Chains A and B, each alone.
Chain A
């Protein structure tokens, strides 16, 4: 049914820390690897070995240069920006779907596509402002991030692996997974402490996933509190004497 549940029992989603993300694309690759044989399999590739490769990916990492003016000084910083479905609370991709193939689960808020009923009209991908849905040309259906429902509830995996593939692989620990409806969950705390925010709030999709802003640059502060180090010795004689002293101390 394409009506959105009034309230979901849980609100599962991700927190993505833009401060620690190093833009290595490990989450992108691991997502592809898991999901190409997962719930929405396969994530088809077109011309993988040719000049113009194309294909379905659920998670993409953009990198931006952001110039800001602080105290009349220009600062520029690099921000790596991973983006996948935000499992919105008010998902327009679901309400536009004419077949009911797109739906939001009442139990955990995950937004999914039923590949057996999707007609491939692509309207949901037009309705999503974040570009989270990618059409599979070969299969003729719409595909998207499942928040790895086949991992997070999988009894065959060790407890510690029951998180989305992107979260489990991130070497920088920039991605956290959890329940946002629980105020004491790790993700809720992170959002509170670090000022986690929504993307495009004006689109009113009420995304569940949150982003943590990069921390302000440090070096300005550092310069002010820097300890002056003694100048390096350049006199050869003095250097030799000190070396000899050190040698005698050690032996």
Chain B
């Protein structure tokens, strides 16, 4: 599938945003006092909502008619894309309310509100994943690993961002040796294993749709005359093929930069007591994570093959 920049930006940016909201909830509920300072909460909510809004705008940019986007909220009964839109909108009110409550010092509402925000964020990510996982036409997406992958990468990238912001603004929310820190490392490792299993899975599974079922005649089928003299919409959108060389470069980048480097940085940081060092490490972790996840998202599209290519 053609890896459109708008869609990669969308998943990367909203992934960080929703993940950050989840981690705000985790750190708030796990912190010793059960509270976080108001400016810290407000900053995190603002950054998360900006990332989400930016991602949603990027996804509108790839539409043929962005001005009609509101119509996409109407078919939630059948369409995962529509459901995603609905939940993406539903995240805003409780997130804004949470900021408001924090500002007004209604601290007793914060844990509950933050859990609500986190659950709605997770549902939104789930809906995004289902857009892809529900497509039977693309076997590389039509599996459970796609769904767990979306949830886990959003959780781990958002966590790395949250860790970075915490180290910068309020290190007490992520102290060394704290459960939240190990939770984050655990999630990154889970996301990595999921990705590896995903890759193994898409290499191994054979597709029940073949040239023979596509054309309906048994035999050795080879194209003789193409239906059009140059690439059409189908070939450009669905027939995108990643060069083997490119895949060989991007795969290790995706693995190292998204998961392994951040994981190592976090581990070292958790044993370090030097504030400068910790900030440096968390910055490296975040930058690496951003680069890695873009490569990983690119591969997710570029490596996925649509059954319509069997006709060509």
Contacts and interface: CB of A to CB of B under 8 A. Distances in A.
Interface of A: 1-3, 18, 23, 28, 51-57, 60-68, 78-79, 81, 83, 92, 94-101, 117-123, 125-131, 134-137, 139-142, 197-204, 211, 213-214
Interface in B123-139: 131, 134-138
B213 A202 contact: yes
A98 B65 contact: no
B77 interface: yes
A92 B79 CA distance: 10
Contacts, number: 188
B237 A122 contact: yes
A203 B209 contact: yes
A76 B79 CA distance: 44
A28 B228 CA distance: 11
B204 interface: no
B306 interface: yes
A135 B237 contact: yes
A120 B131 CA distance: 16
A213 B234 contact: no
Contact of A96 (B62, B80, B217, B234): B80
B87 to A, nearest CB: 13
B214 A199 contact: yes
Contact of A2 (B75, B220, B229): B75
A126 B138 contact: yes
A118 B64 contact: yes
Interface residues of B, number: 56
A23 B217 contact: no
Pick from B72, B131, B233 the residue with the most CB of A within 10 Å.
Answer: B233
Contacts of B219: 66-68
A119 B68 contact: yes
Nearest to B80: A96
A131 B79 contact: no
Nearest to A3: B78
A123 B238 contact: no
B93 interface: no
27 contacts: A2-B75, A2-B77, A3-B78, A23-B225, A54-B231, A54-B232, A54-B233, A60-B227, A67-B222, A92-B135, A98-B73, A98-B79, A100-B71, A119-B65, A121-B62, A121-B81, A126-B137, A127-B137, A129-B137, A131-B311, A134-B234, A135-B237, A137-B64, A141-B65, A142-B64, A202-B208, A203-B209
B136 A204 contact: yes
B71 A117 contact: yes
A56 B216 contact: no
Given A120-B65, A135-B237, A202-B208, A83 B311 contact: yes
Given A63-B225, A126-B238, A81 B215 contact: yes
A127 B65 CA distance: 20
B64 A131 contact: no
Tell which of B75, B228, B307 has the most Cβ of chain A within 10 Å. B75
B72 A121 contact: yes
B33 interface: no
Contact of A62 (B75, B134, B311): B311
Interface in B8-35: none
A64 B221 contact: yes
Which of B79, B131, B220 neighbours the largest number of chain A CB atoms within 10 Å of its CB? B79
A235 to B, nearest CB: 46
Contacts of A200: 209, 213-214, 307
B69 A119 contact: yes
Nearest to B218: A68
Top-7 shortest CB links A-B: A120-B64, A140-B64, A63-B225, A98-B82, A60-B227, A131-B308, A98-B72
Contact of B224 (A54, A64, A135): A64
Contact of B230 (A54, A128, A139, A199): A54
A64 to B, nearest CB: 5
B237 A129 contact: no
A60 B64 contact: no
Nearest to B222: A65
A68 B137 contact: no
